[in-house]
Structure 1
């Protein structure tokens, strides 16, 4: 029994020693691989896959590569080698690749692997909003790194051959869109042309692929059918223009929904699949919106992209905003000496040119009530041009407001002063300027070329005694009375001298 126990103890010690040696050997032949996203991108919603193309053994400064039998056929095809190529031939073929040729090999292998649905060596799973991911405990080897869901296949090759691991910076870019407008600032009633720009992504190997554009307008904008502002009559069949590069544009059907039909869904999933011959090329989507009376300075809208090869687990991009601000003219009308008060009954008109202001023609048509107005959406058929101040504050410091102007020069004319007050005879030049820094709230306004820091145009009226005019008694009465007084004084002087004589 004692001998048996000794034998078992020796065996157990040997097994433990062997296990420790195996663990140490395994650790010495494994490393890590850190994958870092390229500048300006994230890995949000992406999956990183790695394929071990060659096994690797390291002895000092000596390296021995052995092709991975799982991928041998695809490696040979991507290299233009026969299926009977030996390990040494495949290794030498890769060693001889330079520049674009090595990138082509990586992309061709990836395409083949995706089309044949060959399993990867390891995968990260769908990542969150991160910029890097590390694969740990990778066996030494020559690896291909592929980022799924990119605009085009751009795989990377890297050798994991040391304990401290390796690092690769991804080349691919995740799908994204950019929204722009054809106007920097807008006036109520104008039509804005919006353009969404994207790149047709590579869907190689995907049985399904979702590519949907979601666009949301603010309350100050309405979708319209064309540049003439034609009202949308079929929200479920809203046609937009889609164009690849310089090729002729085609129409795609979008759906409008939500409050005032201001939300658009454009599903281009099938269109993307049908145009894989143009993958990697830029495409544009064009459509129109009209500025309505609810527009404010921060009038803007945004579009975001939903994409992914799993329709039930897609990624949504950060919204791309197109800002088209519209501005107000805010007036404080008051009487001299009453700067804190509000003078009612002053009538104004606004013009786009100084000559129109002098000629009293082509005034800007307005709608609204006394004290608060907006630029009329229909400038041709609206006949109201007068704006009248009120005796109280419409908002703090303002008793007359006109909303809905784009940046530019305007001329304000007081066409009628309140009873008992003298009016302003010369047109007042008002200049509205958009901020150069892109902040829509940093706009400026000036009065006769002087900046108005609080954005409130202050206009003072004066009052005084009635001055004489022509056609009445006027100065004639005063002249007659004056002459009579002179004659009386002269006659009195003569009589007095006679008495003394």
Structure 2
């Protein structure tokens, strides 16, 4: 306490009464001085070797926001709370049945973000976790660990180019936003040997070495690649484990970053009367483009690359930047599905579907079909939409129709059916007129 007073008139040989008077006089006109003394006294209490014994200790409070010390003698007490971003202290006089002390403490936390809000299979996502250096005064074993777990559609990689991880390690970049590192930041995190989509980064020693940067923000950057198992509910969750005692830590609520990817489900069917039984068509082949000019030219070098989920089996495909295949083919039926062709792994955006081959006996589409995928605007990622030629498909399935005969439908929609019916009526009218003219000549 003598050192914390920073008062030349008070020494180790000063009487208890003199020290008490000095403490009381601190706050006569300056509450800031009182707080500075409380903070300095707390540091002395926590770092003195051996540590000063506390009169009473609440232990770990967890989610409790109130604690009552009972059986205290009258006197002057230092009350402090640890385990937060900063150690909070207060000086209080106990001279009544009940005395209340309000201490504000903000627990350590992290926030995780991704550089992409929707993804294609094959994309590399950059994740940034932000935190700040907590006050670990007096706790030589303070623990601070970041844990992250990916869903099955993501794999940890070492950099933005997608270099694979080895030896159950993944590269990380730890740096201050606006401070000089007083320690040596880790460059690798550990992957779980049983599940390489679980990562653990131990920053405990680094946090303790950077106490001169208490309260300063730092970032942790790492990467994950979207794989063929990606889905709309792609996400990963980062949580923080921290505490004064490594054997009794607290884990925060996970901070989640969502990176959905979307399927293109196609019902390839025979053009017919509305309400009639749908006849699914196998053998139709398509290519998909993200640019209309490329689609109009049917430029194979610009088409989105795909690969079948099962080698040699049509109907179910995924986006695959490493593939040489750009064409995908419908099948007669996919069990328990209302579509007969799927391409999974597309980011939000506008695409153009080009039919390159119609089923035998049917006419090929003469123009690309515009398809637009729009991500959800709220927290429920499943509220995404897909539209064809500006019309939202409520069942999230794109209907592509083919007709038979010499008339070529342009976009595979019901308009082609109407056009065919009108054309047939016109031909019938011309035939009737021709017969009448022949009769007149006879």
Match for residue 2 of structure 2 among 60, 73, 92: 73
User: Could you say which residue in structure 1 is the equivalent of 2:307?
Assistant: 367
* Residue in 2 that maps onto 1:376: 320
Q: 2:329 aligns with which of 378, 385, 388?
A: 388
Deviations 1:347-380 (Å, cap 9, x if unpaired)?
A: 11110111111011211000113111000042xx
Deviation at 1:139, TM superposition (A): 4.3
Q: Over residues 192-234 of structure 1, what are the superposed CA-to-partner deviations in whole Å (9 max), with x where a residue is unaligned?
A: 1111111111111112122122221221111111111112233
Any idea what SS the aligned residue of 2:119 has? coil
Aligned mates of 2:8, 2:233 — CA distance in 1 = 58
2:257 is equivalent to residue 319 of structure 1: no
Q: Residues 273 and 245 from structure 1, CA distance in 2 versus in 1: closer, same or farther, beyond 3 angstroms?
A: same
Tell me, in whole angstroms, the C-alpha distance in 1 between the residues paired with 2:339 and 2:60. 55
CA distance in 1, matches of 2:359, 2:194: 43
Matching residue of 2:426: none
Query: Residue 370 of structure 2 aligns with which residue?
Result: 429
1:211 corresponds to which residue?
A: 144
Whether the 8 Å CA contact 1:197–1:282 is kept in 2: the answer is: yes
Separation of aligned partners in 1, 2:277 and 2:91? 75
Q: CA deviation at 1:248?
A: 7.5
User: Residues of 1 paired with 2:197 and 2:251: CA distance?
Assistant: 19
Q: What is the SS of the residue equivalent to 1:403?
A: strand
Q: Distance in 2 between matches of 1:333 and 1:113?
A: 76
- Structure 1 CA distance for aligned equivalents of residues 132 and 188 of structure 2: 19
Query: Per-residue CA shift, 1:1-30, capped at 9, x if unaligned?
Result: xxxxxxxxxxxxxxxxxxxxxxxxxxxxxx
Distance 1:129 1:343 in 2: 60
Distance 2:78 2:360 in 1: 85
Match of 1:104 in 2: 36
Residues 87 and 235 (structure 1), Cα distance of their counterparts in 2 relative to 1, 3 Å cut? closer
Matches within 5 A, 1:125-144: 125-144=59-78
**Normalising by structure 2, what TM-score?**
0.82
State the 1:190 CA deviation: 0.6
Q: 1:339-488 alignment to 2 at 5 Å?
A: 339-361=277-299, 362-368=302-308, 369-378=313-322, 382-464=323-405
Aligned length: 398
CA–CA distance in structure 1, aligned partners of residues 62 and 407 of structure 2: 79
In the aligned structure 1, how far is the partner of 2:118 from the partner of 2:329? 26
Match in the other structure for 1:118: 52
User: Runs of 5+ in structure 1 lacking a partner?
Assistant: 1-71, 468-481, 494-501
Measure how far apart 1:134 and its partner are. Answer: 2.9
Residue 414 of structure 2: aligned partner: none
| Partner in structure 1 of residue 10 of structure 2 | 82
Q: Residues 265 and 341 of structure 2 are in contact (CA less than 8 Å); yes or no, is this contact kept in structure 1?
A: yes
CA contact (8 A) 1:367 1:375 kept: yes
Asked whether the equivalents of residues 293 and 377 of structure 1 are also in contact (C-alpha less than 8 Å), the reply is no
Shift of 1:162: 4.6
Q: Give 1:43's aligned residue.
A: none
Root mean square deviation of aligned Cα: 2.8
Comparing 302-311 with 129-138, which one deviates more in the overlay? 129-138
Partner of 1:54: none
Structure 1: distance between partners of 2:205 and 2:385: 47
Task: Tell me which stretches of 4 or more aligned residues in structure 1 moved more than 6 Å.
Answer: none
Residue 327 of structure 1 and its aligned partner are, at CA, apart by: 0.8
| Greater CA drift, 209-218 or 166-175 | 166-175
Determine if contact 1:156/1:171 at 8 Å carries over to the other structure.
Answer: no
* 3-state SS of paired residue (2:129): strand
Q: Give 1:287's aligned residue.
A: 222
**Which structure has greater helix proportion?**
1
Residue 238 (structure 2) aligned to one of 289, 295, 303: 303
Q: Which residue does 2:430 correspond to in 1?
A: none
Task: Give the distance between the partners of 1:245 and 1:466, measured in 2 at CA.
Answer: 65
CA change 1:148–1:235 in 2 (3 A) is same
- Hey, what does 1:185 align to over in structure 2? 118
3-state SS in 2 of match to 1:201 = coil
Counterpart-to-counterpart distance in 2, 1:331 and 1:224: 33
* Pairing 1:54-65 to 2, within 5 Å after superposition: none
Q: 1:395 to 1:432 in 2, by over 3 A?
A: farther
Structure-1-length-normalised TM-score: 0.73
Aligned counterpart, 1:275: 210
Q: Which consecutive unaligned segments of at least 5 residues does structure 2 have?
A: 409-433
Question: Matches of 2:238 and 2:2 in 1, distance apart?
Answer: 44
Q: Rg bigger for which structure? A: 1
CA deviation string 1:269-326 (max 9, x = no partner) = 1111222221211111111111111111111111222222222222222222111111
- 1:339 positional shift: 4.8
